[in-house]
Amino acid sequence: MMTQTERATSVLRIGAIWALALLAPNVMAQAELWGEAESASEAVETLERSATGLAIGDWVRFSGVGTVFFAGHAKGDVYFADRDEPGGHSWERALDACSRKGPGWQLPAREQLDLLNNNATKIFLHEKGINASSGNWYWSATSINEDEAWRQRFSDGFQQPLKKRFSARVRCIRVY
């Protein structure tokens, strides 16, 4: 059986880095690592930045499509962002839209939404459905009280409360 490093090296293309990453037992995924590498060893180092072999900016297809915006070293420490849901939604509809995507998909908590925004410079978000300069507001799953929840604007990272009955954009995430 090939190691993760051997798999990465066997399908590596210098320049735009392509690799196969093992996400879970018997589940293979294709990951596109954004950026440039000057050598195979540099590209393999990029893959080994997290225990899962995934790094921020990786594009992954498994049970849907997502872009890695946080890659830690343990299960539950890799977050994938999906494309925006079309249009605006109330907070309740935003929660429903994410849960309908399937197991593991959720509306991001306030801190996760901020993490996505903070790592935006490492990901080509405009190619993945977020236009950072658009000024759109995105719901978080973090409720303030019965009537309000947190939202965030990607153009400047500003967070503020909004009445749950009002409309904001939805960006679902999946935690692995």
Q: Which domain holds residue 31?
A: 4-175
In sequence order, the 6+-apart residues with CB closer than 8 A to the CB of 41 are none
Q: What confidence tens digit (pLDDT) does each residue in 25-74 have?
A: 333 333 333 333 443 344 334 444 444 455 545 444 444 445 444 444 44
Summarised one tens digit per residue, pLDDT across range 110-130 is 988 887 777 665 544 444 444
3-state secondary structure of 93: helix
What's the CA gap between 102 and 108, in Å, rounded? 15
Q: Are the CB atoms for 94 and 139 separated by under 8 Å?
A: yes
Global confidence as pTM: 0.58
One DSSP character per residue, 120-137 reads GGGTTGGGGT--TTS--E
Q: Whole-angstrom Cα distance, residue 80 to residue 15?
A: 23
CATH of the domain at 33: 3.10.100
> What's the total number of domains in the chain?
1
Structure tokens at 162: 């909004």
d(CA 19, CA 33): 8
